């Protein structure tokens, strides 16, 4: 029998029982839609995170206290002394600059407006490493640092909230934890990142933060060190140099470091692994609904075979071979799942789109990405579901004895 004609006939048969076919297809639509949407969301999350990480520069190292792999007891905190040691060009020739960072949250007020922001205390090198540019004013200077100055650089979001404008804010005074600070610069918007909006932050000199805003237990303790490497190629060398210096200073035996050094590549590979697992997990859960849809197909095809026993007997009497009957029913079940799959792809795309919109509206822009691979996968998978769950009913139909089938009431 001609395949094109068989497909038309299968569609006519399915059309003859619209409600039943529709409900069966709906099961697949939901299954495929969920799979597509979940894969798209997972992929979107991965894209967003990796692009955020890519944005931090290929020649930066991040040093923090503690060890992520080994459980080190009482890790020594990182200190300004560590920062100065790493900045020493003789000890670490591949290190270009080091910025110590201390971070906390505080309320800032101005003109009756209050806002909770992230406060970063750091050195002028930080601005270069972060690739910040300014709308107005200047970055913090070495003088600000040495003079414990009450100077602050604010993000554009802070300017919007406190002053309702971004121009002419330099020279104004804001209060951080009640203490007055003079605004010396306004950052250009970087947009929201996955690690929180960079627009809603204020940056003060490290010394000022340490003495007046963010209190740490150890003397000269810092939360993190940003290390700028001379070039991207030198990152492994610089990593070794930094580790060597810190091991000496912290007097830890080799292999049980009480600090961690991460490069952008490390972050990328961690993020890809995590989002990959996340995507597989979401897709797997959605896959269960596709499985349920497949069982729906099997169920309805079994009912259909039973109902059409006489028809099958007749077809055999007219010369249909086992194969013809098998193909007829397999085409019907794959049509159900293929149609469901196609609508499901649209639904999944739509769901992904909605999720993207909701995320954008809540300030975390993120693009669910529907890849051609996901579409191919879903189409193949749904066709396979139709075939797989259609095989048993179709085999049953094909195996019927013509006389018995014709006799069936």
For the chain, how are helix, strand and coil distributed in percent, rounded to 5? 55, 20, 25
Residue with Cβ nearer other proteins (14 or 271): 14
CA nearest to 391, candidates 332, 321, 308, 316: 332
Minimum distance between the CB of residue 314 and other proteins, rounded to whole angstroms?
A: 5
Residue with Cβ nearer other proteins (13 or 220): 13
Is 4 a residue that touches other proteins (CB under 8 A)?
no
Helices (DSSP H) in 217-263: which residue ranges?
A: 235-250
Is 302 a residue that touches other proteins (CB under 8 A)?
no
Residue with Cβ nearer other proteins (105 or 310): 310
Residues between 303 and 342 that touch other proteins (CB under 8 A):
310-311, 314-324
The dihedral over CA atoms of 43, 45, 51, 56, expressed in degrees to the nearest 10, equals -150
| Cβ proximity of 400 and 312 under 8 Å | yes
Is 406 a residue that touches other proteins (CB under 8 A)?
yes
Please tell me the total number of residues recorded for the chain in this structure.
Answer: 409
How many Cβ atoms are within 10 Å of 72's Cβ, its own excluded? Answer: 18
Buried b (16+ CB within 10 A) or exposed e, 226-243: bbbbeeeebbebbbebbb
Is 2 a residue that touches other proteins (CB under 8 A)?
yes
Q: Using CB under 8 A, which of the segments 109-117, 179-187, 204-212, 397-405 binds other proteins?
A: 397-405
Is 199 a residue that touches other proteins (CB under 8 A)?
no
Minimum distance between the CB of residue 287 and other proteins, rounded to whole angstroms?
A: 35
Is 19 a residue that touches other proteins (CB under 8 A)?
no
**Helix, strand counts (H, E) of the chain:** 13, 14
Is 396 a residue that touches other proteins (CB under 8 A)?
no
Minimum distance between the CB of residue 27 and other proteins, rounded to whole angstroms?
A: 24
Is 11 a residue that touches other proteins (CB under 8 A)?
no
Give the footprint of other proteins on this chain (CB under 8 A): 1-2, 5, 12-13, 16, 310-311, 314-324, 401-403, 406
């Amino acid at each position: 029998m001609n395949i094109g004609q068989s497909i038309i006939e299968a569609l006519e048969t399915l059309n003859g029982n619209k409600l039943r076919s529709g409900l069966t297809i709906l099961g697949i639509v939901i299954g495929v839609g969920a799979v597509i949407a979940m894969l798209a969301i997972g992929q979107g999350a991965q894209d967003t995170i990796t692009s955020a990480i890519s944005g931090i520069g290929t020649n930066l190292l991040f040093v923090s206290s503690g060890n992520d792999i080994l459980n080190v007891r009482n890790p020594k905190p990182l200190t300004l002394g560590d920062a100065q040691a790493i900045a020493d060009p003789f000890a670490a020739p591949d290190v270009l600059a080091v910025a110590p960072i201390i971070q906390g949250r505080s309320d800032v007020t101005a003109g009756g407006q209050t806002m909770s922001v992230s406060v970063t205390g750091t050195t002028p090198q930080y601005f270069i490493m972060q690739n910040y540019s300014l709308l107005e004013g200047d970055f913090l200077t070495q003088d600000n640092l040495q003079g414990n100055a009450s100077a602050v650089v604010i993000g554009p979001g802070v300017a919007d909230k406190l002053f309702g404008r971004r121009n002419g804010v330099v020279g104004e005074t804001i209060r951080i934890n009640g203490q007055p600070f003079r605004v010396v610069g306004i950052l250009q918007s970087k947009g929201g990142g996955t690690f929180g909006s960079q627009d809603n932050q204020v940056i003060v000199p490290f010394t000022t933060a340490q003495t007046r805003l963010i209190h740490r237990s150890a003397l000269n303790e810092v939360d993190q060190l940003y290390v700028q490497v001379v070039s991207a190629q030198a990152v492994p060398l610089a990593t070794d140099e930094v580790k060597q210096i810190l091991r000496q200073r912290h007097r830890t035996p080799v292999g049980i470091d009480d600090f961690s050094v991460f490069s952008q590549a490390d972050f990328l590979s961690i993020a890809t692994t995590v989002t990959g697992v996340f995507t597989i997990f979401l897709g797997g859960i959605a896959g269960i609904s596709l499985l349920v849809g497949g069982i729906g197909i099997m169920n309805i095809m079994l009912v259909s075979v039973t109902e059409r026993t006489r028809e099958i007997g007749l077809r055999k009497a007219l010369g249909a071979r086992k194969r013809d009957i098998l193909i007829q029913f397999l085409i019907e079940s794959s049509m159900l799942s293929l149609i469901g799959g196609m609508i499901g792809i649209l639904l999944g795309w739509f769901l992904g789109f909605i999720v993207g919109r909701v995320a954008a509206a809540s300030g975390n822009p993120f693009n669910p990405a529907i890849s051609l691979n996901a579409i191919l996968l879903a189409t193949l998978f749904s066709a396979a579901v139709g075939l797989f769950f259609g095989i048993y009913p179709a085999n049953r139909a094909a195996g019927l004895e013509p006389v018995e089938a014709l006799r069936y009431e």
